[in-house]
Chains A and B, each alone.
Chain A
Amino acid sequence: AQKITQTQPGMFVQEKEAVTLDCTYDTSDQSYGLFWYKQPSSGEMIFLIYQGSYDEQNATEGRYSLNFQKARKSANLVISASQLGDSAMYFCAMRGRQGGSEKLVFGKGTKLTVNP
């Protein structure tokens, strides 16, 4: 069964600084995908970045990058040059089969607060 662990319930960062949000995962699959979503206070779930298990390079999307360490089963999200609008909940997720269903398995999330 897949499992996602986010150990940081809350993180604080100063505007313009970089921040790393931790995510570790557990799976017995060889092929899998890891995803990060942002949920601002308005409630929508916004897809940020994706890393495939066979991707040799770390994924990057603008100010977002994913520090993927396959042997350690970690997929940390790095946000560079934080902005006030980055304040939100961030969820790490893995797609797989759990409990007989094909679904996204989510971590509990990290609440990021960007201070001016």
Chain B
Amino acid sequence: NAGVTQTPKFQVLKTGQSMTLQCAQDMNHEYMSWYRQDPGMGLRLIHYSVGAGITDQGEVPNGYNVSRSTTEDFPLRLLSAAPSQTSVYFCASSQDRSRTDTQYFGPGTRLTVL
């Protein structure tokens, strides 16, 4: 198993550009989520999905879109990049949404918006 994979590892964008951060998992997990990690702010939830075709907003969803057409993939789209979106982005997955279920993280994408 590759676990949770994310691409790219690093990305530099100019303000106003759009891009998609890719996330995939091969563990047949139902629950997938996106977090961003900023110094002094910890990890904050952007969007999550409890299964294919079902997504919901986290605490910082503005400026981001997600969709979940398959169990394996959960891409995060930045519609019009802003410097405030400079951050490290983590995708995570777990078997389900149970509060006792472990979430496994991908390696992260370091995004810089100029």
Binding site for B on A (CB under 8 A): 29, 31-33, 35, 37, 43-47, 50, 52-53, 91, 95-96, 98-99, 101-104, 106-109
Contact = CB atoms under 8 A, between A and B. Distances in A.
Contacts of B75: none
Interface of B is mostly: strand
Interface residues of B, number: 28
B68 interface: no
A44 B100 contact: no
B8 interface: no
Interface of B: 31, 33, 35, 42-43, 45, 48, 50, 56-59, 88, 90, 92, 97-108, 110
Contacts of A99: 59
Contacts of A101: 45, 48, 56-59
